Amino acid sequence: MEALETRDHAYDGTEAGTANTIQLIAFSIGEQVYGVEITTVREIRAWNGATPLPRTREFVRGVINLRGTIVPIFDLRARFGDGLTETTKNHVVVVMSVGEKWVGVLVDAVSDILTIPRNDVHAVPEGDSMDAELLSGIVTHDEKMVGLIDLQAIVSGVSMDA
Amino acid sequence: MRVLTVDDSRTILAMLQHTLTGAGFEVLQAADGQQGLDVLNYEDVDLVITDINMPVMDGIEFIKNVRATGRHQSLPILILTTETSQEKREQGKAAGGTGWIVKPFDPEKLISVIKRVVH
Amino acid sequence: MSDLDEFRATYFDECAELLLELEEQFAEIEDGDRSADRLNAVFRAIHSIKGGAGAFNFTRLVEFAHNFETLLDHVRDGRVEMTEDVASLCLRSNDIVADFVAAAREERELDADYGAEELARFKSICEDEDDEPMEEFDIDFTPVMVDLDGDKAETDDAAEPIALDPDELPDSFDVPPMGGEGEWRLKFTPYSQLYERANDPLLLFRELTTIGEVNIEARLTELPELTAFEAFGVYCSWDISISGKDVTEARIREVFEFVEGDCEIILTGPGEVPAFDIPDPSLSAMADAPPLVVEDDEPTPEASAPADVPAAEEEALDAGLSFADLAAELAPAKPEKPAKPEPEREPASAQAQDSSASASAKTATVQSIRVDLDKVDRVVNMVGELVITQSMLTQQMDDNLKSRYQELVRGVEVLAQTTRGLQDAVMAIRAQPVKSVFSRMPRLVRELSTKTGKSIRLEMVGEHTEIDKTIIEQLSDPLTHMIRNSADHGIEKPEKRLAAGKPEQGIIRLSAEQAGGSILITVQDDGAGINRERVLQLARDRGVVGPDQQLTDEQIDELIFAPGFSTAEALSDISGRGVGMDVVISNIKKIGGSVHVRSWPGNGTRMQLRLPLTLAVLDVMLVQVSDSPYVIPLSSIVETLQSRRADFGVTPSGRRVLQVRGEYVQVVDLATRFELPTSADEEERFVVLCEADGDSKVAVVVDDIIGQQQVVIKSLEENFERIEGIAGGTILGDGSVALIVDVQGVRHTTEQKSAA
């Protein structure tokens, strides 16, 4: 239940970079670094378990109670096809808004806040990899590749029946 | 410029609100005369538009009460009513009404009538 | 949605409320209450419906409502007596207004002669009273400027939409427009009441400039010495000249429309010689001075009519006397007329009723505000959280803590109490009296009486019983069905009743009462009761009951709620329509309620709904499946039993069934259903026997039963999506989420799967 950092509406477009830059929250899964625009992030909290949802895909870890609202948690590692995350108390849930909905993404750790020139965002190379489907772009930071998460893609296709 | 609209019909209140905000007025609303008086107690307005036929406190009583408070002696009050029968309008005037608007009202006409009673 | 659509939506919303109120009021009037309050409320509601209808050009609704309103106006001020005949005309007319509103909403046209009979009756009743056709004073829909001229008042514009363009307005002053380049001269002398009514000469002058070239000179001759100067004295008057090709007398007069009677206006047309160069100073001092002096060849008689019409003459005015007659009658009384508004001026009866109505309304009416339901729900949610947090706190206080911090413990106890109080109070905000649905029923019963040719009286009890708004919204259909059923199948035809030694008129009694944490809604009739023999026969014919199955009387009675079952041999126009009483049961189950029926052959039938007080809090049984918590609504649970004592069997098609009291019940293992691994010993598991839709049962198998509690329902779809078999989520005392089992849903999908 302990929130590490609350970002409830603290960031709006003006603080989140200028017309020419974007600000990202970067988080890691294993060696890989991913990022989402800081404006979409609502809250970052420690992993404290989730109630499993029946008849959903493996990467849906279940639902948690976020101050009275039920929020689904997606295991990002599993979403990228690398199996379920072996969770510990040190794992982190990043709660973000996707359209009208709030969703949580389970990651290993939050690593940094990055300011990136818009021009440095590159398209994801075509291919049959999961990356092309789930990333909206790629940026380079400190000579490391950071994948920009396409939230809409992450949360689609969750039902077993689908 | 702030206008208090008093009418028990939500339809009429909504239409007034639309027309008046469109013309740059700030609109306050009340559903009957008593509520209207309550609003005037703590809000300053430049104009009142009130219906006559209302529950709890009707428009005539409302206007008399408004005029009875020294603070609102020069507050323009327009009577809004379907009653074009001289009777209600004259009652409203006698109570201290400044002028009248006949429902259903045409937005342009409404604004031109308002211009006749406020600066 | 365009603005107009939005207004229309608001209007129809409002009409729905007004019609509801009218139903209530008329139900009382039908029962003999003819009090002024009642009649005023009815008048106001019809008036409001008419007012909005005018804005949207619903001409037929306007016409009907207008004439209805006129009748009501006559009734409330005593000109027409509310006889049984008039009352029943009003009741019928109320239904017709509702139909016109519905037709307007659905944008369809009713038959041309619909309501014509009632319309004619309004007119003839009011005419009898007035000796004059009421159309003559049917001027509600004449344009903004009302004709003061007696001989022009005959225009019947009732059905015409209002003309608002000033240029299209008829000339109100009966003076031929005099255009041209000439110069109009105007002497304008305000009286003090012009200022008292917040009119401002400056604004009038400003408006004058929009019609022509204006030249204004102030006359300051009346200004007193400074020592004699009164702060609110009126000393200034103006000489104004207006010229331009669009200047007409009508346009000038229109500018001064609001201040007529509050000032002296002497208007001289181009080429005319002003009659008065110097105004008589006594005129400006006298408030009762003739407000208009028209400098014209034919001074119109109404021009000298005072703006204030005294009370006694109001009736004459309504009765169609011309202003000319009036003015003549009034002439001697004129000098006594003070400028100040006279409170006693209004028509005695109507005004007395009005003020007594508002006085009593002030004391009797509960003050209320309109609040967005979303806001209330937010509070409900937050209180739900508070309840959970509070119970978490309580749970975490172990004995050690309790003995060490007694003050803290007491504080938490007080907190618990306050929280419960707060929860009740918040729930009460969502609660509404059931009369909002009950009040629709009298009309239904009237219609049913007519259609069936039966004489039926509806009695209503406990309509002030309060229940959650959401539940009320779900009540209308089931209640309609139940009452239809009673009228159609319960109450007998008059001759049959007489033969059975009963009064000719049948009674349907609709009642609501609170019983503990539930609301009981009962529909009881004094009809023939359920024909059990026929019901059972039909049920066997339709395969609802097996040929050898023996049923108790109660079980037979309950069959009328079985899916697709209808006791009418032919689907009647009334109860039929392809849906049976099973709709009642499924609607009621959806909101966590139950339905029971009892019948006494020859003496009637009673159908009873048991409903939860609120939907926001659900009583549930907390169970465990594969280490995850699930909850099952208590209202759907019949009983629970241990697996090892359950009598399981397998159907020839391989489906697992539970045998309980001679019934075979479908079995749904939640672990299997939700594809969850379970390590629980089969013998140690539990069977929860639940009622699903249409009186059928389902046996839900779970790993363990943990206990009962109250929970707040949370949406799963708000941030995720619907999952088959899950009705939503809830938050437990430890802050974790438990899923709510959708008893009907788990059963349904399992059937589909096994069928596939």
Q: Where do the domains of chain A lie, and which CATH numbers do they carry?
A: 3-154 (2.40.50.180)
The pLDDT, as a whole number, for residue C311 is 41
The pLDDT, as a whole number, for residue C341 is 44
Phi, psi of A19 (to 5 degrees): -60, -25
Q: Taking all residues of chain B, what is their mean pLDDT, rounded to a whole number?
A: 84
Question: Is residue C364 included in any domain, yes or no?
Answer: no
User: Is the model's pLDDT at A12 over the cut of 50?
Assistant: no
Residues 7-66 of B with CB under 8 A from C: 8-12, 14-15, 18, 31, 34, 53-58, 60-61, 64
Question: Is residue C8 included in any domain, yes or no?
Answer: yes
Q: Report residue C566's pLDDT band, with 50, 70 and 90 as the boundaries.
A: low
- Asked whether residue C576 falls in the same domain as residue C642, the answer is no
- Asked whether residue C94 falls in the same domain as residue C220, the answer is no
DSSP readout, C16-76? HHHHHHHHHHHHHHHTT---HHHHHHHHHHHHHHHHHHHHTT-HHHHHHHHHHHHHHHHHH
Dump strand ranges (E) for chain A: 3-6, 21-29, 32-37, 41-46, 60-66, 69-75, 92-98, 101-107, 109-117, 135-141, 144-149
Please state which of the ranges A20-34, C323-337, C473-487 shows the lowest mean pLDDT.
C323-337
* Distance spanning both ends of chain A, measured CA to CA: 32
The pLDDT, as a whole number, for residue C86 is 85
Taking the C-alpha atoms of residue A42 and residue C595, their distance in angstroms, rounded to an integer, is 46
Q: Which residue of C has its CA nearest to B46?
A: C198
- Asked whether residue C537 falls in the same domain as residue C650, the answer is no
Long-range contacts of C70-76 (CB under 8 A, 24+ apart): C70/C122, C70/C126, C70/C134, C70/C138, C71/C122, C71/C125, C71/C126, C72/C39, C72/C42, C72/C43, C72/C46, C73/C43, C73/C350, C74/C125, C74/C126, C74/C129, C75/C39, C76/C36, C76/C39, C76/C40, C76/C43, C76/C350, C76/C353
The pLDDT, as a whole number, for residue C693 is 62
The pLDDT, as a whole number, for residue C277 is 41
Taking the C-alpha atoms of residue C389 and residue C408, their distance in angstroms, rounded to an integer, is 15
- Asked whether residue C403 falls in the same domain as residue C427, the answer is yes
Question: Is residue C162 included in any domain, yes or no?
Answer: no
Alpha helices (runs of H) in C56-191, residue ranges in sequence order? 59-76, 84-105, 116-130
How much is the average pLDDT of A117-132?
78
Note whether A1 contacts C735, CB cutoff 8 Å: yes
B99 class by beta-carbon count within 10 Å (0-12 exposed, 13-18 middle, 19+ buried) = buried
Task: Report CA Rg, chain B.
Answer: 13
How much is the average pLDDT of C738-749?
82
Task: Indicate the residue among C612, C637, C654 that finishes a domain.
Answer: C612
Distances (CA, A) of C41 to C45, C65, C365, C440: 6, 15, 13, 17
Q: Which residue of B has its CA nearest to C53?
A: B104
User: Is the model's pLDDT at C252 over the cut of 80?
Assistant: yes
- What share of chain B in percent tops pLDDT 70? 95
DSSP SS3 for C383: helix
Q: Taking all residues of chain A, what is their mean pLDDT, rounded to a whole number?
A: 82
Q: pLDDT tens for residues C97-114?
A: 999 998 888 888 888 888
Residues of C in contact with B14 (CB under 8 A): 6-7, 10
Residue C486 belongs to domain with CATH number: 3.30.565.10
Closest among C177, C222, C178, C186 to C205, alpha carbons compared: C186
Question: Is residue C355 included in any domain, yes or no?
Answer: no
The pLDDT, as a whole number, for residue B116 is 83
Please state which of the ranges B61-70, C301-310, C598-607, C684-693 shows the lowest mean pLDDT.
C301-310
For the entire predicted model, the pTM comes to 0.44
Q: Report residue C749's pLDDT band, with 50, 70 and 90 as the boundaries.
A: low
The pLDDT, as a whole number, for residue C212 is 82
C354 conformational bin, left if phi > 0, alpha if psi -120 to 50, beta if neither: alpha
More confident residue, C314 or C68: C68
Residues 62-121 of A with CB under 8 A from C: 62-65, 67-72, 101-103
- The CATH-assigned architecture of domain B2-117 is 3-Layer(aba) Sandwich (3.40)
- Asked whether residue C724 falls in the same domain as residue C660, the answer is yes
Note whether B106 contacts C314, CB cutoff 8 Å: no
- Asked whether residue C658 falls in the same domain as residue C747, the answer is yes
The pLDDT, as a whole number, for residue C147 is 33
Q: Taking all residues of chain C, what is their mean pLDDT, rounded to a whole number?
A: 74
Tell me whether B104 touches chain C (CB under 8 Å): yes
Residue C117 belongs to domain with CATH number: 1.20.120.160
Note whether A55 contacts C715, CB cutoff 8 Å: no
> What kind and span of H or E run contains C508?
strand C506-515
DSSP readout, A68-104? TEEEEEEEHHHHTTS------TT-EEEEEEETTEEEE
User: Is the model's pLDDT at C142 over the cut of 50?
Assistant: no
- Asked whether residue C414 falls in the same domain as residue C547, the answer is no
Q: Report residue C363's pLDDT band, with 50, 70 and 90 as the boundaries.
A: very low
More confident residue, C694 or C97: C97
The pLDDT, as a whole number, for residue A75 is 94
User: Is the model's pLDDT at B88 over the cut of 80?
Assistant: no
User: Is the model's pLDDT at B78 over the cut of 80?
Assistant: yes
Q: Whats the size of chain B, residue-wise?
A: 119
Note whether A63 contacts C725, CB cutoff 8 Å: no
More confident residue, C320 or C662: C662
- Asked whether residue C748 falls in the same domain as residue C621, the answer is yes
How much is the average pLDDT of C637-648?
88
How much is the average pLDDT of C381-387?
77
Note whether C719 contacts A49, CB cutoff 8 Å: no
The pLDDT, as a whole number, for residue C471 is 84
Note whether B74 contacts C195, CB cutoff 8 Å: yes
**Domain that residue C504 falls in:** 434-612
Question: Is residue C656 included in any domain, yes or no?
Answer: yes
How much is the average pLDDT of C342-361?
42
Which among C72-76, C264-268, C335-339, C458-462 has the top mean pLDDT?
A: C458-462
Q: Report residue C289's pLDDT band, with 50, 70 and 90 as the boundaries.
A: very low
More confident residue, C439 or C326: C439
Task: Indicate the residue among C287, C304, C321 that finishes a domain.
Answer: C304
- Asked whether residue C569 falls in the same domain as residue C465, the answer is yes
Q: Which chains contact A through at least 3 pairs of Cβ atoms less than 8 Å apart? A: C
Residues of C in contact with B80 (CB under 8 A): none
Strands C431-433 and B2-6: unpaired
Note whether B104 contacts C148, CB cutoff 8 Å: no
Q: Angle between the C348-364 and C59-76 helix axes, to the nearest 10 degrees?
A: 100
The pLDDT, as a whole number, for residue C632 is 92
Residues of A in contact with C729 (CB under 8 A): 51, 63, 70
Which among A106-110, C213-217, C362-366, C489-493 has the top mean pLDDT?
A: A106-110
ipTM: 0.84
- Asked whether residue C552 falls in the same domain as residue C453, the answer is yes
- Asked whether residue C440 falls in the same domain as residue C589, the answer is yes
Q: pLDDT tens for residues C698-707?
A: 999 999 998 8
Q: Domain extents for chain B?
A: 2-117
Q: Which residue of A has its CA nearest to C720?
A: A72
Q: pLDDT tens for residues B32-76?
A: 888 888 888 877 888 999 988 888 888 888 998 888 877 777 889
Question: Is residue C121 included in any domain, yes or no?
Answer: yes
More confident residue, C240 or B86: C240
Q: pLDDT tens for residues C184-233?
A: 888 888 888 888 888 888 888 888 888 888 888 888 777 777 777 776 77
Task: Report CA Rg, chain A.
Answer: 15
User: Is the model's pLDDT at A73 over the cut of 90?
Assistant: yes
How much is the average pLDDT of A24-33?
91
Give the number of domains in chain C: 5
The pLDDT, as a whole number, for residue C509 is 94
Closest among B5, B29, B12 to C53, alpha carbons compared: B12
Q: Report residue C564's pLDDT band, with 50, 70 and 90 as the boundaries.
A: low
Question: Is residue C517 included in any domain, yes or no?
Answer: yes
User: Is the model's pLDDT at C40 over the cut of 90?
Assistant: no
Note whether C726 contacts A159, CB cutoff 8 Å: no
Q: Which residue of A has its CA nearest to C624?
A: A51
Q: Which of A59, A60, A66, A69 is most worth mutating to test chain C (most C CB atoms within 10 A of its CB)?
A: A69
Q: Which of A54, A56, A72 sits opposite C719 (nearest CB)?
A: A72
- Asked whether residue C566 falls in the same domain as residue C661, the answer is no
User: Is the model's pLDDT at B103 over the cut of 80?
Assistant: no
The two three-digit tokens of residue B35, written as one number: 């509520």
